[in-house]
Amino acid sequence: SAVISQKPSRDICQRGTSLTIQCQVDSQVTMMFWYRQQPGQSLTLIATANQGSEATYESGFVIDKFPISRPNLTFSTLTVSNMSPEDSSIYLCSVVPSGTAYEQYFGPGTRLTVT
Amino acid sequence: TQLLEQSPQFLSIQEGENLTVYCNSSSVFSSLQWYRQEPGEGPVLLVTVVTGGEVKKLKRLTFQFGDARKDSSLHITAAQPGDTGLYLCAGDGSGNTGKLIFGQGTTLQVKP
């Protein structure tokens, strides 16, 4: 498995501002992902964070709104830009540890409220 | 578009009862994972099933992957209040890229 931490754990932000969420893993991982969980709902994949190259976004998500960085194999950031109340969600990073093919582990999440 | 239909969405039972949660799709998945999530926390991986027909047991929890790898079930025997939480199935349908498609989730409440 992998130990994953996220910062901040929660935040309340004003509309129009941006927030950067950090994801740190205790070991090198093959794949890292960012998901969104809207209130009372399940998880939706935002993008795959690619090490050393641009992230791969899923349908409905764009780089201008959710820029992602992954400078190395243990760290990634997700920025939620120009926030609106509709962006209020839990944002989670997940990883597939090196040496495993299918097991995916999630961070504790960042609870974002936009007012 | 691949979808995972999870049912039931809500389940409230008494301690000691048995229950089954279903996860169905018309698409084939290379693997399927079950998670449990508690309020304020991220999903915790319970099990991964990969082979069609596979059955895995985790104490009182039994997981089954359908022969055609399109469906899965989670059966809990003698539920305990500690089993309360949100149960999520998630499938990797894109050739083991790690991109998971989640079911809607089942909120389980086990009353003492």
pLDDT digits (tens, 9 = 90+) for B55-97: 999 999 999 999 999 999 999 999 999 999 999 999 987 777 8
**Predicted pLDDT at A103:** 87
**Predicted pLDDT at B75:** 98
User: Which residue in chain A is spatially nearest to B88 when comparing CA positions?
Assistant: A42
Residues of A in contact with B90 (CB under 8 A): 43, 104
User: Which residue in chain B is spatially nearest to A89 when comparing CA positions?
Assistant: B40
Find the mean pLDDT for residues B43-57: 95
pLDDT digits (tens, 9 = 90+) for B3-30: 899 999 999 999 999 999 999 999 999 8
| Helix, coil or strand: residue A5 | strand
pLDDT at A81 over 90: yes
pLDDT at B37 over 80: yes
Inter-chain touch B98–A92, beta carbons under 8 Å = no
More confident residue, B62 or B1: B62
**Predicted pLDDT at B3:** 87
A20: left (phi over 0), alpha (psi -120 to 50) or beta: beta
Residues recorded for chain A: 115
**Predicted pLDDT at A52:** 83
**Predicted pLDDT at B95:** 73
The pair of three-digit structure tokens given for residue A47, joined into one six-digit string: 């993008």
How many interface pairs between A and B have CB atoms less than 8 angstroms apart? 63
Residues of B in contact with A42 (CB under 8 A): 88, 102-105
**Predicted pLDDT at B15:** 97
**Chain B: closest CA distance from residue A18 (Å):** 22
Residue B29 burial (CB < 10 Å; 0-12/13-18/19+)?
Answer: buried
Inter-chain touch B50–A102, beta carbons under 8 Å = yes
**Chain B: closest CA distance from residue A14 (Å):** 22
Find the mean pLDDT for residues A39-54: 91
Residues 45 to 64 of B: which have CB under 8 A from any A CB?
45, 48, 50
Inter-chain touch A92–B31, beta carbons under 8 Å = no
Q: Is the dihedral of CA B102, A94, B62, B10 positive or negative?
A: negative
**Predicted pLDDT at B2:** 77
**Predicted pLDDT at A97:** 87
Q: Select the residue of B43, B96, B103 nearest A101 (Cβ to Cβ).
A: B96
What b/e string do you get for A58-77 counting C-beta neighbours within 10 Å, with b at 16 or more?
eeebeeebbbbebeebbbbb
Per-residue confidence band for A2, with pLDDT thresholds at 50, 70 and 90: confident
